[in-house]
Amino acid sequence: MSKLNKRLRSQDAFMDSPIGENLNFAAAEAYKLLRANLTFSLPANEGGCKVVGITSSVPSEGKSTTAINLAYSIAETGKKVLLIDADMRLPTLYRRLGIASSPGLSNLLAGLSNGADVLRSSGLHENLHAIVAGDIPPNPNELLASDMMGRLIKSLSSSYDYIIFDLPPVTSVSDGLVISDHLDGVIVVVRRNFCDKHSLQEAMRYMRFRNVKILGFVLTRSQYHGKYYKRSSNSSYKYGRQYSKIKSPVSFDRTDKRK
């Protein structure tokens, strides 16, 4: 594991939050309620795959933990669920699930891997599969906005009842919003006593501009305070600045034959 990933792991406020069957009764019931509310909020396209994004205004509000546990809760009902980490710049899904960090979504969109290479068991439930973010690309926004992204979602929709995307924070980078046209809606995670009013309002403006359908809000709270994602009006700047320091560890040239 790289020094950067080690530092992120120790500083992520939600990295130790329970997931899957390790949730206590109250938390499990809360996710069941979220699952039920989601069902009523989505379009009534019987038999069709529901595609949902989970995002937040600023980093460290618990969006990834929410995405994992919501996906797990849906899988418990017998539905086939695919969880995709679309936060390519600072991915966390592979660490939370304890699976390899690549190949993943970035490799697939760049044409360096196929579906069989990136689809994996989540290890949480037999009905829950996962696609990690993959190797850090130099152009996450372009990959997510590509025609390949739309074709991929359409192809995967034939095999799953739900596709849950873990998206980047809205005010940090625009990556998550570029795929909004392919989503049935977005759930916004808000961390209590952490996300300031201005950041939430700014995120809402961005999403309204993109005509994003907001399905609802999830309020999270934590006694942990990570040092990496500090509560600050400059949080998005720090997030983006850290992104600029991350170098793509592999070539994303389509002629690259490395696996």
The neighbouring-strand residues paired with 248 are none
E-only strand ranges, 77-181: 81-85, 120-121, 128-131, 162-166
Q: Do you find a cis peptide bond into 43, omega within 30 degrees of 0?
A: no
- Answer yes or no: is pLDDT of 247 > 80: no
| pTM across the whole model | 0.81
CA distances from 222 to 28, 52, 185, 219, 225 (A): 16, 24, 26, 10, 8
Q: What is the model's pLDDT at position 246?
A: 41
- Answer yes or no: is pLDDT of 123 > 70: yes
Q: 188: alpha, beta or left, given left = phi > 0 and alpha = psi -120 to 50? A: beta
Average model confidence (pLDDT) across the chain: 83
**Strands laid side by side in the 128-131 sheet:** 120-121, 128-131, 81-85, 162-166, 50-56, 185-191, 214-220
Q: Is 3-245 a CATH 3.30.710.10 domain?
A: no
Q: What pLDDT digit, counting tens, does each position of 20-33 carry?
A: 999 889 899 999 99
Confidence of residue 13 (pLDDT cuts 50, 70, 90): low
Rounded to whole angstroms, how far apart are CA atoms 51 and 216?
Answer: 15
The domain segmentation of the chain, as residue ranges, is 3-245
Confidence of residue 253 (pLDDT cuts 50, 70, 90): low
Q: What pLDDT digit, counting tens, does each position of 138-196 carry?
A: 999 999 999 999 999 999 999 999 999 999 999 999 898 999 999 999 999 999 888 89
CA 99 to chain centre: 16
- Answer yes or no: is pLDDT of 234 > 50: no
Q: What is the model's pLDDT at position 12?
A: 55
- Answer yes or no: is pLDDT of 258 > 60: no
